[in-house]
């Protein structure tokens, strides 16, 4: 096969930021995906209300148009951040929100307090937000969770959140909940046992790297060292965890779908004494995903994972267009506008056509 064609996929978790970074990163996603769900932890101002979300949608769309694409080719989806201050009415205002016939505000995101980039306004008490979750259940807004307990040991944070996830699923049986970027075998197992209303996104980098690639990375000259560009939250874990994630992504279980968590940070913010969490994977997503599924002999499971299960979970129509990848080698640039991408400097064997 010289080329691989699939239904145009969706990315159900991406960080686009604002300002200059927004301009440089949006085109990578827009050229590969039909839709992508932009996270609300922007700086200096997060996306907190319907008005903020619609303004952000327009900012993203403007860039999409500048690179010659229309909202028919790529439609951004946006989210609001749920904080301790969010009121049920903030959520009720979002009912049936659409732009030009497209439903665009699709989720409310909860970051536990202080757990990752720009989460200083995160949630400290889930129970105190029950009126907000009830409003989300009522209007059909998906609850998107950064599922980690901030005070726990760094490698146990996700595991310790699973009780909260089960509690929310039980207390809000009609609320659709997504546990974002799962990183452990325990999460995969827990998800399988939870009701259909609970799904999970899986990133490309958690399918490819483990903690070893963060802390014992073999550099160009052959010696091992820390790779800050592989550092993200949740922290990639052991081989058995990565194996469970690969199993889940390739299982055909519709609870597991793709969300890249592509999270750009300027190189100097990553290569620092307090490096930011985030892997900027947008430029290499589809070539590496296709390569990974092919390597495991599961190419038939790729399209459901990237182009169907997420859309169905969110109640969105499937994309009708296709995308083709050609077998063509290219070297991933070492930087894009001051941001180091995932697989920088490495050769990739597939390239998105066009
Ligand atoms: O690695 C991460 N980076 N994980 C997150 O949850 C946030 C993200 C970011 O915004 O940089
Ligand atoms: Zn994220």
Length of the chain, please? 354
pLDDT of residue 98: 66
Q: Work out which ligand 1 atom sits closest to the CA atom of 276.
A: 11
236 in Cβ contact with 210 (< 8 Å): yes
Say if residues 18 and 336 touch (Cβ distance below 8 Å): no
The third-level CATH classification (topology) of the domain covering 8-322 is TIM Barrel (3.20.20)
Please compute the mean of the pLDDT values over residues 6-28 and round it to a whole number. 98
DSSP 182-221: --SHHHHHHHHHS-TTEEEEE-HHHHH--HHHHHSEE-TT
Largest Cα–Cα distance of the chain, in whole Å? 57
pLDDT of the residue at 116: 80
Rounded distance between C-alpha atoms, residue 313 and residue 307, angstroms? 11
pLDDT at residue 237, rounded to an integer: 98
The answer to whether residue 260 scores a pLDDT higher than 70 is: yes
pLDDT in the model for residue 125:
93
CA–CA gap between residue 208 and residue 23 (Å, rounded): 27
Q: How confident is the model at residue 119, as a pLDDT? A: 84
Mean pLDDT (the chain) is 96
Q: Which pLDDT does position 102 carry in this prediction?
A: 72
Q: How many other C-beta atoms can be found within 10 angstroms of the C-beta atom of residue 193?
A: 8
Cα 97 from Cα 101, distance rounded (Å): 9
Q: Is pLDDT of 136 > 90?
A: yes
Would you state the torsion angle of the CA atoms of residues 313, 10, 252, 3, taken in this order, to the nearest 10 degrees?
A: 160
Which DSSP symbol is given to 85? T
Distance 228 CA to ligand 1 centre (A): 13
Give pLDDT tens digits for 79-103.
Answer: 999 999 999 999 999 976 666 667 8
The whole-angstrom separation of Cα 277 and Cα 5 is: 33
**Is 277 close to ligand 1, i.e. is its CB under 6 Å away?**
yes
The Cα–Cα gap between 191 and 199 comes to 7
Residue 84 a catalytic site member: no
User: Is the confidence at residue 163, as pLDDT, over 90?
Assistant: yes
Question: What residue spans define the domains of the chain?
Answer: 8-322
Phi, psi of 158 (to 5 degrees): -70, -45
Is residue 107 reached through a cis peptide bond, with omega within 30 degrees of 0 on the bond before it?
no
What mean pLDDT comes out for the span 198-213? 98
Mean pLDDT for 115-144 is 93
| H or E segment to which residue 75 belongs | strand 75-82
Which residues are 201's β-sheet partners? 257
278 lines ligand 1 (CB under 6 A): yes
Minimum CA distance residue for ligand 1 atom 5: 233
Question: CB of 61 within 8 A of CB of 37?
Answer: no
Best mutation site among 21, 180, 181, 261 for ligand 1 pocket (most ligand atoms within 8 Å of CB): 261
Angle, to 10 degrees, between the axis of helix 162-171 and the axis of helix 130-139?
A: 60
The confidence band for 120, taking pLDDT boundaries of 50, 70 and 90, is confident
pLDDT at 216 over 70: yes
Given a cut of 80, whether residue 282 has pLDDT beyond it is: yes
CA of 112 to the centre of ligand 1 (A): 12
Residue 65 scores a pLDDT above 90: yes
> In terms of pTM, does the model score above 0.95?
yes
The pLDDT value given to residue 97:
63
- Give the residue-averaged pLDDT of 342-348: 97
The neighbouring-strand residues paired with 99 are 102
Question: Does 221 have pLDDT greater than 90?
Answer: no
CB atoms within 10 A of CB 333: 12
Strand partners, 123: 112
Which pLDDT score is estimated for 117?
Answer: 78
CA of 222 to the centre of ligand 2 (A): 31
Mean pLDDT of 272-285: 97
Encode pLDDT of 180-201 as tens digits: 999 999 999 999 999 999 999 9
Q: What is the CA radius of gyration of the chain?
A: 19
């Amino acid at each position: 096969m010289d080329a691989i064609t699939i239904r145009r996929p969706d990315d159900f978790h991406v960080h686009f930021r604002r300002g200059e970074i927004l301009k440089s990163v949006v085109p990578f996603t827009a050229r590969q995906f039909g839709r992508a769900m932009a996270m609300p932890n922007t700086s200096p101002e997060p996306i907190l209300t319907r008005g903020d979300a619609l303004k952000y949608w327009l900012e993203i769309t403007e860039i999409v148009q500048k690179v010659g694409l229309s909202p028919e080719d790529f439609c951004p989806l946006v989210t609001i951040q749920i904080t301790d201050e969010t009121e049920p009415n903030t959520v009720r205002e979002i009912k049936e929100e659409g732009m030009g016939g497209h439903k665009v505000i699709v989720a409310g995101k909860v970051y536990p307090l202080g757990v990752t980039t720009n989460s200083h306004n995160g949630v400290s008490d889930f129970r105190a937000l029950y009126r907000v979750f009830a409003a989300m259940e009522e209007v059909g807004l998906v609850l998107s969770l950064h599922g980690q307990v901030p005070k726990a040991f760094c490698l146990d944070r996700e595991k310790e959140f699973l009780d909260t996830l089960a509690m929310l699923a039980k207390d809000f049986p009609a609320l659709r909940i997504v546990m974002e970027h799962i990183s452990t075998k325990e999460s995969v197992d827990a998800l399988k046992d939870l009701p259909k209303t609970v799904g999970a996104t899986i990133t490309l980098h958690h399918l490819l790297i483990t903690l070893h690639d963060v802390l014992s990375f073999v550099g160009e000259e052959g010696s091992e060292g820390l790779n800050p560009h592989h550092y993200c939250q949740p922290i990639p874990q052991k081989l058995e965890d990565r194996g469970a994630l690969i199993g889940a992504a390739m299982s055909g279980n519709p609870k597991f779908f793709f969300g890249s968590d592509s999270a750009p940070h300027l190189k100097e913010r990553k290569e620092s004494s307090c490096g930011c969490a985030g892997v900027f994977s947008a430029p290499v997503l589809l070539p590496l995903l296709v390569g990974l599924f092919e390597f495991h002999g599961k190419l038939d499971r790729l399209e459901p994972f990237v182009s169907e299960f997420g859309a169905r979970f969110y109640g969105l129509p499937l994309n009708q267009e296709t995308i083709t990848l050609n077998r063509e080698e290219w070297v991933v640039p070492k930087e894009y506008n001051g941001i180091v991408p995932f697989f920088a400097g490495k050769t990739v064997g597939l390239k998105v056509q066009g």
